[in-house]
Structures are given as structure tokens and as C-alpha cells.
Amino acid sequence: MSQETLKVPIGPATVEYGSTIFDITKGGVEFEVTTNTKDITVDQYGDAPIDTVLKGRICNVMVPFALHDLAKLADAIPNSKYTTDGTKSKLEVYGDAGFRLLKTAKPLIIKPTDPDATADDWITVPLAAALGDPKYTFNSDNERVAQLRFVGYPDTTNKGLLYVLGDETVVEGGAG
């Protein structure tokens, strides 16, 4: 009798954000979805809901980036300017109120590093914007890690698509 192999994934991932790849992390990449709902109640049934209405979904990706790479951080910190003269570099971050994040949104793809992983294991957020709130701890016991947060926006040009689990190239009615 043969034993069926169960697919229970484990291990780290890289994150592609536009053309920038965050490939060295410390603490694990996290993908989180929050679904907001409204319970519908009527007097006749008290507090017991007779239905629940979906009000929206939010997705966030947390990337604990472990490298001190200002060029890559520039892509993850909106309203910033990266400058280099070849041997030195700096990242200037501006605090202007009213900066619109959606205009900076680009595709974000989480790709497990498992050698057996395929596009079926990927998570794609078609419109993700970086919030770029790095937090550094300076001590002798821990690596300095920039906790980068990305928020997904519904793609209003694609029926409100928020994220894709699996191979985004699959088309309905395709071969298979």
C-alpha cells in the first residue's frame, strides 16, 4: 500500500515588488487578509443574525527585510528619494501630508523558496503599495531588520481583484 504525500508547505519566501526583490528576510514574510462584515439582524430574532453582508477585504504583506540596502528600501518607502554618487548613498524620506499611495502601487508576488514550489504556491497582490515604516533596534543581540508593510488595493479595472492564490496566469476554461 502506497502512502499519499500531503502537501504541507514550510519555509521562507522572497518578495518581488515591481522590479525589486526582497530576498533576505529575518522572521518570516507574512500575508494577512481581513474580511469586514455586517451582521443583519431584525427585532424578531434579537441579536441572532439572519444574514451577513461582506463589506470589504483588506490584505497586508509584512516583509522583515534583513539587508541594509538603501536602493531596495527606496522602493518600499513612499515619498522618498534615493541618491548615490558611486561610493556613498542616502535615502531622504519626506513627511508631506496628502501623498497618495495608490499612484505608487505595483504588483507584489510572494514566492516560496522551496525548490519544489511552483507558481501554484505563489501569492500575487496586483496592486500593492508600500507603507515603509522601518523600525530598527540597535543592540548587540539582534539583527537590524526593516519591517516593511505593503497594503493591497482592489483593482477597479479587474472587478475589484485584491489578491490571487496560485498561478495568476491560469484562465477560466483553459486546458487542464
Rounded to a whole number, what is the largest CA-CA distance in the chain? Answer: 73
Residue 2 in any domain: the answer is no
Residue 9: the pLDDT is 77
Residue the block writes with cell 500500500: 1
Residue 1: the pLDDT is 64
- The pTM score is 0.89
Residue 3 in any domain: the answer is no
Are 69 and 30 contacting, i.e. CB atoms less than 8 angstroms apart? Answer: no
Cell numbers standing for residue 133 = 515604516
Residue 44 in any domain: the answer is no
- Number of compact structural domains in the chain: 1
Residue 176 in any domain: the answer is no
51-71 mean pLDDT? 95
Domain that holds residue 77: 16-37+51-165
Residue 63: the pLDDT is 95
Task: Give the tens place of pLDDT for each residue, 146-176.
Answer: 999 999 999 999 999 999 999 999 998 766 5
Residue 176: the pLDDT is 57
Residue 46 in any domain: the answer is no
Task: Give the tens place of pLDDT for each residue, 119-148.
Answer: 999 999 999 999 977 878 888 888 888 999
Residue 116 in any domain: the answer is yes
Residue 175 in any domain: the answer is no
Residue 171 in any domain: the answer is no
